[in-house]
Structure 1
Amino acid sequence: MKQRLTIQEIQQLWLDYQSGDMEALATLMQAFYADLYNWGLRFVPEGETVRDCLQDVFLALWQKHGHMAVVQDVPAYLFKTVKHRLLQEYRRKSFTQVMSLTDEQYTVHVEFSADLRQIEEEHQVYRLRRLEQLMNQLPERQREIIYLRFYQNLEFDQIAEIMQIGKQPVYNLLHRALKNMRDYTLGTFSWLLVAMGPCTTLFQELGKKA
């Protein structure tokens, strides 16, 4: 598995990009492409549309590389920018529901892709599918925060920037989301406790008492 860039490497690449290094931007694009693509599918479940939006985002970044403001958290900035571009595209194409960055009614669908699961046991597949069902019963904003925290392993300040809410509301929203998931399981989530992939910490969190 390809090793992720360190925070220092990401920041240096961003500085190089701002200085006009096209290769640095391409490296950032390659490093974040899979995560941003999977993130995009949660809003617009059309792969071609997501790919086009990602291309638009990185093209726009290059065009304004000499005028970019200082970005303290590059991953959070990229997630937020892609989200904004996708919601613009969602409205432009007149999908079934008009959305905005502050609208809590957008759709975030959770599905664990096979390449991330990489599991063989049929009962483990069933458990993850059950977890998907539990997560997709959550309200949209709670579903989004679960995905960002446990699937993308983002910090609370990063999540706050992406969702454009304060840090304390992030804590509150995550607490409600976890409580709802525990309630949905009716106290029988012990059979869900398997350690695999990006779901491990979520399973552990669900195993705690509220």
Structure 2
Amino acid sequence: MGNSKLLNNGLHTSSKPEDEVLLHSPQNPMATLPDADVWNRFRSGDEASFIYIYNEHFQALYQYGCQFTCIQELVEDAIQDLFVELRQKRKKITIKTSIRFYLFKSLKRKLIKLLEKRRKDLPYSPQPEYAAFEVTFSIEQRLIESQMHIEQRQKLAESIKKLTPRQREAIYYFYYENMSYAEIQKLMDFTHIQATRNLMYRAISELKKHLLVVIPAFIFN
């Protein structure tokens, strides 16, 4: 289900057709605003800000949700619930970092609850556990820049699979979503930021051990 279809499925808006064109346009003035300003507009009841937040983050949320489960409907339902809840509680919600970080943390919490409920209802369900975190992330731009051969990309994919689930999750946040160590710490519920750094160090060291001979070192910098 695409983001526009999901938006219209229970998340009706009052925007006009001509407004929709602007909202999807790179010329949208909100694209130049800091997250705090966009969020404040949203909290004040600005519908255009709500639609902008949805369209801006839907694809990333969907890809992120698919790291936890292959059940697409479950991911879509969780995203739908998340935005319905945002609209209902907009005046009570504040963000301390970025909008995407807040959405990721909220979606992760919802998905874990849904998956736990599903496993209780269907104890013999073959669906993957949360801990698997089957990362399908890519460092596409860096791979393109390095002009990696097909066998090198395959080697990278194989090496990522050898990482622990937590290492793959941290790598996803750091390389794919460009999150800071502080944000990763909160998303992964570490008590101290040093634990995040240690996890990233072990993950990158493991990848280097397998890949440095075939992949340029700058990928890991």
TM-score, L = length of structure 2: 0.72
> How big is the shift at 1:190?
3.2
Q: Distance in 2 between matches of 1:56 and 1:26?
A: 15
Asked whether 1:191 is paired with 2:205, we answer: no
Of 96, 101, 110, the residue aligned with 1:85 is 110
Partner of 1:11 in structure 2?
Answer: 36
Asked whether 1:176 is paired with 2:202, we answer: yes
Amino acid at match of 1:141: R
Asked whether 1:142 is paired with 2:167, we answer: yes
Structure 2 unmatched runs, 5+: 1-24, 120-124
Q: Which moved more, 1:124-133 or 1:55-64?
A: 124-133
Amino acid at match of 2:218: Q
With over 3 angstroms needed to count, the CA separation of the structure-2 counterparts of 1:170 and 1:112, relative to structure 1, is closer
Partner of 1:204 in structure 2?
Answer: 218
Partner of 1:102 in structure 2?
Answer: none
Q: How does 1:73-152 map to 2 (within 5 A)?
A: 73=97, 74-94=99-119, 106-112=131-137, 124-152=149-177
Partner of 2:14 in structure 1?
Answer: none
Q: Distance in 2 between matches of 1:118 and 1:191?
A: 12
> How big is the shift at 1:37?
0.9
> How big is the shift at 1:177?
0.8
Larger Rg: 2
Q: Distance in 2 between matches of 1:158 and 1:118?
A: 25
> How big is the shift at 1:107?
1.7
RMSD between superposed Cα atoms in Å: 3.1
Number of equivalent positions: 186
1:84-121 deviations in Å (ceiling 9; x for gaps): 1111111121155897xxxxx712112247x98996xx
Q: Is the 8 A contact 1:160 1:167 kept in 2?
A: yes
Structure 1 unmatched runs, 5+: 100-104, 194-202
1:36-90 deviations in Å (ceiling 9; x for gaps): 111111111222221111111111111111222x211122111111111111111
Q: Distance in 1 between matches of 2:31 and 2:151?
A: 33
Q: Distance in 2 between matches of 1:80 and 1:27?
A: 19
Q: Is the 8 A contact 1:10 1:28 kept in 2?
A: no
> How big is the shift at 1:161?
1.8
